[in-house]
Amino acid sequence: MSQLIDKPGLIQLLRSQFRLDWRGIHGAPHWARVRHHGRHLARVRGADLLVVELFALLHDSQRHNDWHDPRHGHRASEFAASLNGRFFDLASKQLDQLTFAMIQHSDGRMATDATVQSCWDADRLDLGRVGIRPSSHLLSAQAADRIDYAWLLSTR
């Protein structure tokens, strides 16, 4: 799966254009934890690993600030679509899943699509970084089983 992403090129681009603190609450350490949780959940749930990994790297990449930025998911979605064919090659369904997951990731919704929900679960499992313990009501059963682990990982 990793060979389907030009990860070094994508990371270099993300680092060059990211407006916030690279090591801050919405920066690279957060993306790494979301990727970690997402890859586990995708394997358990049979979700699309490529979409989940790209979500982890891109979902907060277009934030203008760390707090109230309701359009950041839309901007990330547009950004991801512009990168398709350059840093990765997603089929239409995969791009739809990725862009939908990005647009809606901050809305507290649940999805029936295993890939989309895996993206949202992975992001929500890292709420400990801002002192919020994830709620099992907003997670799939598979993700709810990881709350204690995720809390330890994001607060250490």
Question: Looking at the whole model, is its pTM more than 0.85?
Answer: yes
* Cβ atoms of 92 and 155 closer than 8 Å: no
Give the closest residue to 4 by CA, choosing from 126, 120, 112, 87.
Answer: 87
pLDDT digit string (tens) for 6-60?
999 999 999 999 999 999 999 999 999 999 999 999 999 999 999 999 999 999 9
pLDDT digit string (tens) for 103-113?
999 999 999 99
Which domains occur in the chain, in start order? 2-155 (1.10.3210.10)
